């Protein structure tokens, strides 16, 4: 258990996350535990991932679902998007997070919509690797 005011470096966060049974997102030294998803949320994300994976087969791109983190170096953040696609070979070098996503999808829910459309969306927009962003 961490003290409430404990600040972690990205490497400390990654080490903690590797041993944690709960997923946490990382915000410039602070972490926040993530809640579980609903049946509808998981079904939407899985259906979309399945279609995209089929479409991208043999393209060199990879589709990842909710257990893969995206790292945003410019904002010192790690998020667990519902779905991300990377086509960048540099992402092969990191097995627990990706730095160069081409597409990020967040399935909105009542409890996360404000944050997903607000701060998280602004943070995602700093990624130069992203294609056209739709809000």
**33, 2 in Cβ contact below 8 A?**
no
What are the per-10-residue average pLDDT scores of the chain (135 residues)? 72 94 93 88 94 94 95 96 96 96 91 83 93 58
For the 38-124 domain, the top CATH level (class) is: alpha beta
For residue 72, what are the β-bridge partners? 77
pTM: 0.88
Domain boundaries, given as residue ranges, for the chain: 38-124
According to DSSP, the residues that pair with 83 across neighbouring strands are: 65, 105
């Amino acid at each position: 258990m961490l003290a409430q005011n404990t600040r972690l470096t990205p490497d400390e966060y990654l080490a903690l996350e590797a041993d944690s049974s709960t997923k946490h997102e990382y915000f410039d030294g602070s972490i926040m535990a993530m809640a579980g998803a609903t049946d509808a949320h998981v079904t939407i994300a899985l259906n979309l991932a399945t279609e995209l994976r089929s479409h991208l087969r043999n393209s060199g791109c990879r589709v990842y679902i909710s257990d893969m983190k995206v790292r945003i170096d410019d904002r010192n953040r790690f998020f667990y998007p519902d779905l991300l696609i990377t086509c960048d070979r540099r992402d092969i070098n990191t097995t627990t997070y990706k730095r160069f996503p081409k597409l990020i999808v967040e399935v909105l829910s009542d409890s996360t919509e404000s944050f997903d459309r607000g701060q998280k969306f602004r943070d995602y927009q700093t990624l130069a690797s992203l294609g056209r962003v739709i809000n």
